[in-house]
Amino acid sequence: MEGSDALLVARLAAGDDEALAETYDAHAAAVFRVAVRVVGDASSAQDVVQDVFVQLWTHPQRYDATVASLRTFLVVLARSRALDQIRSDARRVARHERVHRLTPLQDVPAPTEAVTAAETARLVQDAVNRLPADQRRVVELAYFEGLSYRQVALATGLPEGTAKSRIRAAMATLEKVLDRHLLESS
Amino acid sequence: MSSPTGSHVPPAGLRERVLTAALIARTPGRATPATEPITAVEGLRRSAQSLRQVLSALDESQWRIPALRGLDVQGLIGHLIGVETDVAGALTGDARAAAADHIASTETTARLQNGRPGRATLYDWVTAAGHVLDLLAAADPDAPVAVHGLRLTTRSLSIVRTFELWTHENDIRRALGMPRTDPDAPTLTVMTDFATAILPRAAAVRGIETPVDLRLVLTGPGGGTWQLRLRDETPAADIGVVTDAAAFCRLLANRTAAPDLPVHITGDPAIARQVLQAATTLALD
């Protein structure tokens, strides 16, 4: 029969759940380590581990034994899923931040959420700092100081329509910069 | 950062959580990517079509090349004409087909092809095979039929014939120096489902020495995972066999010897070999 990785994945494709358990036992520790390193906490890392092994089980044909070892494939997949999770968290926090500024005080977050939010907020702040000056200014006014479009326009001396379009452009730039930053920092 | 225990070891409960989530996302046992389900008759039609394509490309000299059991290619197709005739008889109430011998009853038809143009033999086989396909398509798949010493359903008969046409196509390909061919994945799926269903019966016919709990994993197109009990007694030996689905079908068709089958075995290898040997018991040539 073929090499052990190829055999294991052929068994997965054949619906052999014992092969899935064997794969988990052989590689879960490595996947978990990478996930913790990227997302920064054990709870989120467990979600990444689950994602990785469910993906392997549902789409085993995406692994090519001629390209890399199964461990490498799983570790790369874990890293990618972990980065997806951070991006998703960052967007969620940014949304939450915006809503938070427009609504009365909400419940105080749990300590673990506060740690995650603080970590992600730092990433977002770093990304904002990399924006061009005119974009950074309107984003800071709108999202960190909680000003409305009209107030941003008054504060910057821009027409309101221009302030609005500049904020939109800044948000698009911010998203790209934030994604690149997360990739580099991992 | 680290896990709550201060290490990067996955928490103990994560294994069960991950495996449970995976098995909810995809049911174990069946192969992925899933194949389009087809009927047994459709599998037979595809096998007949594949053989017909090979035969349609032959020149006269190729019809005379020795292929199997002293028969040349033309004689082998003559044998198939005889089989189609017997099967059609069995499906239309001719009691003689039930006890007829698979080889002996077709010898005359095989011999009669000698000296005829190859295309005439091809025409006769295509006509006879088409008639059988029509009869099988119209039959109740669960209706019993008796032919060549076998008593089986018409669905099973279609699959046995699928094995036969595929096997003889490869006999001819080998004689002509052509590469071996395997059925498409939907047809192989029909064949492996049947093969695994009859394996306990084959083991009973063969009389394997030890009761076996067999975990059979067939990889590649037409594959899947089966848990089979061979001889319903305890204690049973736990045996795992992993092999390619098409290769397993070749074993059942008696075109691969059990010791030559590329296989990954867990448990007692001697018992596993007995099981594989038993799988060849029901082969029809």
Contact A29 B262 (CB under 8 A): no
Q: What is the pLDDT of residues B200-253, one digit of tens each?
A: 888 887 777 788 899 999 999 999 999 998 877 777 889 999 999 999 999 999
Q: In a mutagenesis test of the B interface, which of A57, A115, A185 is the best target, namely the one with the most B β-carbons within 10 Å?
A: A57
Contact A14 B224 (CB under 8 A): yes
**Which pLDDT belongs to residue A15?**
97
Cβ–Cβ under 8 Å, residues A27 and A73: no
Contact B27 A15 (CB under 8 A): yes
Cβ–Cβ under 8 Å, residues A85 and A44: yes
b/e burial code for range B64-89 (CB count within 10 A of at least 16 → b): eeebbeebbbbbbbbbbbbbbbbbbb
pLDDT band at B189 (very low <50, low <70, confident <90, very high): very high
Measured between beta carbons, the chain B residues lying within 8 angstroms of A19 are: 217
Question: Which pairs with CB-CB distance under 8 Å and at least 24 residues apart come from A99-105?
Answer: A101/A143, A101/A146, A102/A146
**Which pLDDT belongs to residue A176?**
65
A45: contact with B, CB 8 A cutoff: yes
pLDDT band at A137 (very low <50, low <70, confident <90, very high): confident
Of B1, B10, B264, the CB nearest to A28: B10
Please name the residue that has the structure tokens 């800044």: A170
pLDDT band at A121 (very low <50, low <70, confident <90, very high): low
Of A14, A29, A40, the CB nearest to B225: A14
Map out the domains of chain A as residue ranges. 2-102, 111-185
Contact A18 B27 (CB under 8 A): no
Q: Is the pLDDT of residue B110 over 80?
A: yes
Contact A58 B25 (CB under 8 A): yes
**Which pLDDT belongs to residue A100?**
63
Mean pLDDT for A59-73 is 92
- Cα B201 from Cα B197, distance rounded (Å): 8
Q: Is the pLDDT of residue B262 over 60?
A: yes
A115: contact with B, CB 8 A cutoff: no
**Which pLDDT belongs to residue A147?**
58
A49: contact with B, CB 8 A cutoff: yes
**Which pLDDT belongs to residue B140?**
94
Three-class secondary structure of residue B146 per DSSP: strand
Q: CATH for A2-102?
A: 1.10.1740.10
Average model confidence (pLDDT) across chain A:
78
- Cα B155 from Cα B13, distance rounded (Å): 46
pLDDT band at B5 (very low <50, low <70, confident <90, very high): very low
- Cα B192 from Cα B245, distance rounded (Å): 7
Q: Is the pLDDT of residue A146 over 60?
A: no
**Cβ-based neighbours of A152, under 8 Å, separated by 6 or more:** A138, A141, A142, A158, A163, A167
Q: Is the pLDDT of residue A115 over 60?
A: no
Mean pLDDT for B8-16 is 91
**Which pLDDT belongs to residue A104?**
53
Distance from CA of A10 to the nearest CA of B (A): 6
Greater confidence, B127 or A110?
A: B127
**Which pLDDT belongs to residue B28?**
95
Is CATH 3.40.390.30 the classification given to domain A111-185?
no
Of B2, B9, B22, the CB nearest to A53: B22
- Cα A15 from Cα B32, distance rounded (Å): 7
Q: Which residues pair with B238 in a beta bridge?
A: B213
HEC profile of B169-191:
HHHHHHHHCCCCCCCCHHHHHHH
Of A13, A20, A29, the CB nearest to B10: A29
Contact B1 A36 (CB under 8 A): yes
Three-class secondary structure of residue B265 per DSSP: strand
Phi, then psi, of A170 in degrees rounded to 5 = -65, -40
Q: What is the pLDDT of residues B63-84, one digit of tens each?
A: 999 999 889 999 999 999 999 9
Mean pLDDT lowest for which of A31-45, A90-104, B133-147? A90-104
